Amino acid sequence: MTGAIRIGIGGPVGSGKTRLLERLLPMFATAGIDTAVITNDLMTEEDAERVRRSGLIDPARVMAVETGACPHTAIREDPSANLAAIDVLERRFAGLEVVLIESGGDNLAATFTSDLVDYWVFVIDTAAGDDIPRKKGLGLLQADLLVVNKIDLAPLVGADLDLMRRDVAVARPGKPTIFTDLRSGVGLDEAFDRIVRDALTLGVLT
Amino acid sequence: MPPDRWDAELAWLQLHDSAFPSGRFVHSNGLEAWLAAHPAAGAEVIAAVIEAHLRHNVGTLDAVCVAHAYRAGSTADLVRLDRLVRAHKLSAAARTASESCGRQLALAARRTLAPLDHDEFLGLVAAGETPGNLAVVEGVVHRGLSIGLARAVLGHLRSAYSGMLSAGVRLGRIGPLETQRRLFAGAPLLVELAGAAVETPIDGISAVTPELDVYAMRHETTAARLFST
């Protein structure tokens, strides 16, 4: 795989994928990393439009991909539409270093194929239930980085964060997990540092 | 069948397996918009729309061009044919579906099917120097894998048929068993269209499905949609 490094962001609907994207974009910009975005919206261009209107990135650097009602297929079995979008972005922006690919909201079994991404993040949230790590979905098991978001909501919905930490440690031995509240920014620096450090190990970012 | 022909048979199955990553699954060719406008349409009517698309569009344009691409004498002939196909794709949706799937097939074939590693035309498609319509790319790929001409054309028609029916399933309007029944019962239609396509001269190509074309064009500006086309 040549060209820009490709970083996938997957996870269930409402877990905070777009929020993570919006939080990371200024950090990539501050770090001087040339970045573009692809969103795999389930039904509309809502996420792409949200990112375009955010003022965080040149709207021309944001592309939306339709997934034929199969968001998991578009990042796993047949990433053709995403690969085509990457191709367009790389032709449009010669110095492109990173493409962030947000998957359509999917279930816990969604995974990114290595034919599409170099590195990927899976986002879950505490409000969806503190038993998610125990269910050991493939996304949670295989992602390079797990983000457990909305920790601020845990006490409000009766989610046990200590239990989630223990279950995550069992489910992902040796793999990083970061607990975040992306609205306030808790855990965000750690997530960014981790992503950039891992991208550095891939030898792409310098 | 001689043992060496099994290679070609298996290659044919591989190309037309829905698991082959050429991006067909994101295209409904106007069916998504048509279904949204016809909420009461049942399986019988939906199948009739899909079969009309096959009979008056895929069969009379793309399938014919698969055959001509298969028989093309040079890369220059293929490029001319590719431009001709683009000229017959009236809507942006039709061009997008044809060219994006063709390009993805060309890229995937070059990476995964050894006899096609250095094919000149596929190289031009990959480099963006020719549109890379699916029909033309399929003709080249089938010939490169020593799959027979009739099978190439039949495979193209069959994939188009199953792809449209699959879109109907994913849009919740046709059942998967009904789809399989239709695919099986549709064999005579596919054979008939393939036979005609192989015999059609290049100046006899046409694509006339105005209703579905209009819905494909409406789909281009629809805010809420699941399919690219």
Candidate from A197-206, B66-75, B165-174 with smallest mean pLDDT: A197-206
Per-residue confidence (pLDDT) for residue B13, from 0 to 100: 97
Stronger pLDDT, A24 or B4, i.e. the higher one:
A24
Instruction: Quote the CA–CA distance of A69 and A126 in Å, as a whole number.
Output: 26
Q: What is the pLDDT of residue A107?
A: 84
Residue A192's closest CA among A206, A202, A178, A174? A178
- Distance of alpha carbon B148 from alpha carbon B135, whole angstroms: 15
**Chain A residues touching residue B227 (CB < 8 angstroms):** 66, 68-69
Nearest to A181 by CA among A158, A156, A148, A144: A148
For the segment B215-224, the average pLDDT, to the nearest whole number, is: 88
Which residue in chain A is spatially nearest to B22 when comparing CA positions? A80
* Both structure tokens of B152: 């190439």
Which residue, among B84, B154, B80, B69, has the nearest Cα to B119 in the 3D structure? B69
Query: For residue A63, how many C-alpha atoms fall within 13 Å in the half-sphere facing its CB?
Result: 22
| Alpha helices (H) in chain A, listed in sequence order | 17-30, 46-53, 71-75, 80-92, 132-135, 138-142, 154-157, 161-171, 188-201
Query: What is the predicted pLDDT for the residue at A21?
Result: 95
- For chains A and B, what is the number of CB pairs under 8 angstroms? 62
Comparing C-alpha atoms, which of B28, B120, B25 is closest to residue B82? Answer: B120
Domain count of the fold of chain A:
1
Indicate whether A206 belongs to any domain: no
Q: CA-CA distances (angstroms) from residue B172 to A69, A109, B19, B32, B179?
A: 10, 22, 21, 11, 12
Q: Give domain status of residue A36, yes or no.
A: yes
Structural domain range at position A107: 5-201
Q: What pLDDT is attached to residue B218?
A: 92
Looking at domain B22-35+47-220, its CATH class is: mainly alpha
Q: Å from B88 to nearest chain A CA?
A: 23
User: Which residues does chain B have within 8 Å of residue A42's beta carbon, measured at their own beta carbons?
Assistant: 226
The pLDDT of residue A66 is: 84
Closest CA to A67 of A42, A86, A102, A39: A42
Q: What is the mean pLDDT of chain B?
A: 94
Q: Do B25 and A78 touch (CB under 8 A)?
A: yes
pLDDT value, residue B2: 59
Q: Which of A49, A66, A91 to mutate against chain B (most B CBs within 10 Å)?
A: A66
ipTM: 0.81
Partners of residue B100 in chain A, C-beta under 8 Å: 80-81, 84
Average pLDDT per run of 10 along chain A, which is 206 residues long? Answer: 88 94 96 95 76 90 87 90 92 95 88 94 96 94 97 97 97 96 97 90 62
pLDDT of residue A146: 98
Whichever domain contains A44, its CATH number is: 3.40.50.300
Per-residue pLDDT, A205: 58
Position A16, amino acid: G
